[in-house]
């Protein structure tokens, strides 16, 4: 039981060491049913039933989309809970209300209060964190909570909520050992968040998955729409802090110069999905154009968004991004080609429960590589990664840590160069500010 002067750190140590944690150990932490989270929340008085919610799933973009929705709802004056995973630097990033992290004391008090439950139920790290978030949002009486799915959908611990709206951003190959090895199988798992009579927004129309969503929605009488069939976000330009878009709805200009406080080659898709989701919110949560513009313009300060196409430094430009699967890496590398630089340096690390070759094939041979293992048990050995990359024509050196790899890249880079840090969320977590 955590005690003493540094209760918060002792509580975190307990959570990390005693509870199976996917972020650290991978597949061994995955639970294949919802019995634990249901038992936890029932013992806590079913907090997930005491606030309205939005549920966000998808292979890529669900975190950015969740932050966009939370920011706009905050701009509209509501008290908004936001649950995301994983965290980068601070455990409390996972649980926020109007951008403010859950207080350390709340974390300590929750774990102390639930110690008998934890001993009896033996939940995973993710299950106890989801229960903590739901309990906190209920106790603080949020007006609405935006809940990001952790992995998949059907069996994800967040899937005990009955939301006002379900959102599925897109489907790509990721976590295939759990979700299936075809896009329709992965889509079926993510479609598991669709609830009877609850509207659902799908971000991208994909031939392989379209019918999966249609059939699931029809079976549950859930109204369904595809965001990219109605909204189109066209890039106008970008600054160091914002990206500007024209927004078309049904072919007609809806918003000109919509400023998004985020960058990245994929954000137009997330923006389209978010705007469709906002349109489909219940009447009690409708938002105005002014509130949409305000929320998206102040996205980072309102929600403390981290790790997505984030600039860490200049001269040379240092950019980090959380792309960690095939679709995300392909988009990221296409976008890097558009950034002028004398030499591209890539600090790269992956996790060992994913085949790195599927990412490596999208990376440019002309870049200089700095391979590193993220500092988690799941981290892929840097030397092995270097060997696999070398066999695919990607040349570089292995380093003992992500920070050492980045230091080497900085030493070798001129002011006109570009340094990209990525390959895994856990690599980005070690450098993000």
338 vs 221, 332, 334, 344, CA distance in Å?
44, 10, 7, 12
Sign of CA dihedral 114, 119, 125, 131: negative
**What is the dihedral angle through the alpha carbons of 322, 241, 101, 76, rounded to the nearest 10 degrees?**
-120
Instruction: List the one residue out of 295, 306, 396 whose CA is nearest residue 349.
Output: 396
Which residue has 């859950």 as its token pair? 102
Same domain, 340 and 245: no
Per-residue pLDDT of 377-414, as tens digits, reads 889 999 999 999 999 999 999 999 999 999 999 999 99
175: left (phi over 0), alpha (psi -120 to 50) or beta: left
Which residue has 């992995």 as its token pair? 151
CATH number at residue 384: 3.90.190.20
Same domain, 264 and 295: yes
* Number of C-beta neighbours around residue 400 at 10 A: 10
Q: Do 370 and 348 form a contact (C-beta atoms < 8 A)? A: yes
* Number of C-beta neighbours around residue 46 at 10 A: 13
Domain membership of residue 232 (yes or no) is yes
As for how many domains the chain has, the answer is 2
Domain membership of residue 348 (yes or no) is yes
> Predicted confidence band at 124 (pLDDT cuts at 50, 70, 90)?
confident
Same domain, 121 and 238: yes
Spatial CB neighbours of 408, under 8 Å, sequence gap ≥ 6: 370, 397, 399
Residue 42 token pair: 């029932």
The pLDDT, as a whole number, for residue 151 is: 79
The pLDDT, as a whole number, for residue 178 is: 53
| Residue where a domain terminates, one of 303, 326, 346 | 303
- Averaged pLDDT for residues 207-214: 92
Same domain, 182 and 48: yes
Per-residue pLDDT of 50-66, as tens digits, reads 999 999 999 889 999 99
Residue 164 token pair: 């006002």
Q: Do 393 and 365 form a contact (C-beta atoms < 8 A)? A: yes
**Does an H or E element contain 310, and which?**
strand 310-313
Tell me the longest C-alpha to C-alpha distance in the chain.
Answer: 62
d(CA 220, CA 89) in angstroms, rounded, equals 39
> Predicted confidence band at 5 (pLDDT cuts at 50, 70, 90)?
very low
The pLDDT, as a whole number, for residue 3 is: 47
Spatial CB neighbours of 46, under 8 Å, sequence gap ≥ 6: none
- Averaged pLDDT for residues 121-142: 95
Count of residues making up the chain = 433
Same domain, 143 and 278: yes
The pLDDT, as a whole number, for residue 215 is: 95
CATH number at residue 48: 3.40.1190.10
Task: Report helix, strand or coil for 400.
Answer: coil
Same domain, 341 and 295: no
* Number of C-beta neighbours around residue 219 at 10 A: 11
Domain membership of residue 394 (yes or no) is yes
β-partners of residue 317 are: 418
The pLDDT, as a whole number, for residue 2 is: 42
d(CA 272, CA 228) in angstroms, rounded, equals 7
- Tell me the residue range of the domain where 376 lies: 310-428
> Predicted confidence band at 20 (pLDDT cuts at 50, 70, 90)?
low
Q: Do 211 and 177 form a contact (C-beta atoms < 8 A)? A: no
With a cut of 70, say whether residue 23 has pLDDT above it: no
Per-residue pLDDT of 335-377, as tens digits, reads 888 888 999 999 999 998 788 898 999 999 999 999 999 988 8
Per-residue pLDDT of 418-433, as tens digits, reads 999 999 989 999 998 7
| Residue where a domain terminates, one of 265, 283, 303 | 303
Residue 378 token pair: 């799941």
With a cut of 80, say whether residue 1 has pLDDT above it: no
- Averaged pLDDT for residues 73-99: 96
With a cut of 90, say whether residue 104 has pLDDT above it: yes
378 vs 50, 180, 349, CA distance in Å?
36, 21, 11
Of 12-26, 81-95, 313-327, 377-391, least confident by mean pLDDT is: 12-26
- Averaged pLDDT for residues 280-288: 96
Per-residue pLDDT of 330-340, as tens digits, reads 888 988 888 88
d(CA 338, CA 25) in angstroms, rounded, equals 36
102/88: higher pLDDT: 102
Same domain, 287 and 357: no
d(CA 330, CA 174) in angstroms, rounded, equals 14
Domain membership of residue 397 (yes or no) is yes
Q: Are strands 344-348 and 317-320 parallel, antiparallel or unpaired?
A: unpaired
| Residue where a domain terminates, one of 279, 303, 327 | 303
Same domain, 154 and 112: yes
Per-residue pLDDT of 139-195, as tens digits, reads 999 999 999 999 788 999 999 999 999 999 998 865 444 555 688 888 998 999 999
253 vs 129, 185, 231, 257, CA distance in Å?
42, 37, 10, 11
Residue 349 token pair: 């690390």
Q: Say what percent of the chain tops pLDDT 70.
A: 93
Same domain, 219 and 262: yes
> Predicted confidence band at 307 (pLDDT cuts at 50, 70, 90)?
confident
The pLDDT, as a whole number, for residue 28 is: 53
The pLDDT, as a whole number, for residue 336 is: 87
Same domain, 333 and 204: no
């Amino acid at each position: 039981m955590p005690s003493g002067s540094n209760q918060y750190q002792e509580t975190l140590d307990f959570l990390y060491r005693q509870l199976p944690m996917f972020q650290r150990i991978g597949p061994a932490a995955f639970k294949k049913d919802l019995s634990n989270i249901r038992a936890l929340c029932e013992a806590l008085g079913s907090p997930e039933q005491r606030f309205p919610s939005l549920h966000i799933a998808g292979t890529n973009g669900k975190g950015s989309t969740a932050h966009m929705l939370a920011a706009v709802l905050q701009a509209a004056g509501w008290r908004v809970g936001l649950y995301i995973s994983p965290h980068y630097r601070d455990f409390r990033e996972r649980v926020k209300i109007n951008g403010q992290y859950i207080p350390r004391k709340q974390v300590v008090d929750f774990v102390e209060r639930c110690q008998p439950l934890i001993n009896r139920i033996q939940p995973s790290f993710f299950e106890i964190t989801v229960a903590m978030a739901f309990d906190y949002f209920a106790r603080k009486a949020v007006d609405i909570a935006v809940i990001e799915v952790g992995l998949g959908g059907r069996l994800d611990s967040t899937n005990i909520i009955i939301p006002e709206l379900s959102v599925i951003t897109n489907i790509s190959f990721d976590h295939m050992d759990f979700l299936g090895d075809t896009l329709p199988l992965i889509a079926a798992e993510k479609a598991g968040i669709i609830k009877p009579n609850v509207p659902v927004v799908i971000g991208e129309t994909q031939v392989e998955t379209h019918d999966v969503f249609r059939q699931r929605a029809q079976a549950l009488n859930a109204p369904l729409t595809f965001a990219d069939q109605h909204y189109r976000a066209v890039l106008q330009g970008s600054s160091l802090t914002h990206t500007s878009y024209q927004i078309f709805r049904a072919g007609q200009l809806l918003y000109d110069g919509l400023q998004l406080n985020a960058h990245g080659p994929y954000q137009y898709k997330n923006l389209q999905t978010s705007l469709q989701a906002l349109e489909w919110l219940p009447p009690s949560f409708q938002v105005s154009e002014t509130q949409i513009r305000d929320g998206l313009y102040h996205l980072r300060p309102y929600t403390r968004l981290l790790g997505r196409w984030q600039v860490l430094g200049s001269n040379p430009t240092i950019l980090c991004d959380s792309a960690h699967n095939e679709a995300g890496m392909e988009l990221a590398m296409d976008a890097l080609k558009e950034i002028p630089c004398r030499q591209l340096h890539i600090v790269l690390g992956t996790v060992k429960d994913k085949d790195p070759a599927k990412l490596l094939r999208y990376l440019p041979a002309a870049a200089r590589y700095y391979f590193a293992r993220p500092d988690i048990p799941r981290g892929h050995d840097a030397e092995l990664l270097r060997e696999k990359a070398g066999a695919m024509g990607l040349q570089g050196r292995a380093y003992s840590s992500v920070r050492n790899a980045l230091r080497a890249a900085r030493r070798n880079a001129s002011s006109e160069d570009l340094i990209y840090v990525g390959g895994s969320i856990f690599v980005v977590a070690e450098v993000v500010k």
